[in-house]
Amino acid sequence: MTPTTLAPSDDLVVALRGRASLRPSVDRGLAGGLRAWLDDGVFELVGVPSAGSIRVATRDVVGAVHAGSTEAMLRGALVAQLLCLHVAGCTPVDPFGAAAVALAASGRDDDLADLLAGLDAEDRARLAAEVAAHASILFDRLPAVPPRWSPRVGVRHQVPIAGGGVVLRGQIDLTLGEPGGSTACVCLLDVTTSALGARHEDGLTYLALLATLRCGEPPLRVAALSTADGSALVRDVDAAMLAEAVEGVLRAVGTMVTR
């Protein structure tokens, strides 16, 4: 399905949630069929893998991306902290200062907090200016999220398939809505500090598959937002998208076992 590209003036949350009366009924049999397809595909590729021996992350499905600079990684981590604060109802006046404090308190084990603390004054000022620019776009494009939509930020998924021999991993930056109803209402948002490209759309299909397998029902929509320029795209989740994601996972597994 062709993604919907939003204009900068469009309300991203409204585009994600849509009108309740137009939401499709939940297909609760789809997740089981997708899991069986994945199990069969893995068996054809590698037989019966030992428990947890193959771990698939988003980057494995969308294709390897060159590691960014230290400042780019810090910028992404700080914007992620700002998303958490903003969704919780705290939109800071000093985005960099608030994000830096949140990052230091987050307990992350990737040394980014130490790298941030070690920046010299010039690099720190440059990073602060970048974060402020990205924060302005984030707060403008993502209005306040009502608590009744059950927002969850930074949810990490680990979904075992093939008897636990393969583990699919991914993080969803923002999830709206709760599963379990008669109509689809769960929406997923991926926030990136880089310009949107094909790999972001592929990443959305993978995250939709993860959510489907984990919850037993497909989400309603997935979206990506770039805080670099405010561009966004939204896709309805359907069987064709999830089939694309299954094929992407199996390609990734095939590549991993033939290295």
**Tens digits of residue pLDDT in 36-92:** 999 999 999 999 999 989 999 999 999 866 556 788 889 999 999 999 999 999 999
pLDDT for 159-208, tens place per residue? 999 999 999 999 999 999 998 888 888 999 999 999 998 889 999 999 99
Domain ranges of the chain: 4-64+146-257, 70-141
Q: How far apart are the first and last CA of the chain?
A: 32
Whether the pTM exceeds 0.85: the reply is yes
Amino acid, single-letter form, for residue 210: L
Q: What percent of the chain has pLDDT over 70?
A: 93
Give CA 9 to chain center in angstroms. Answer: 23
Is residue 213 within 8 Å of residue 35, measured between CB atoms?
yes
**CA dihedral for 35, 39, 41, 42, sign (positive or negative):** positive
Residue 178, φ and ψ in degrees, nearest 5: -115, 140
- Using CA atoms, how far apart are residues 138 and 156, in angstroms rounded to an integer? 21
**CA dihedral for 237, 238, 241, 245, sign (positive or negative):** positive
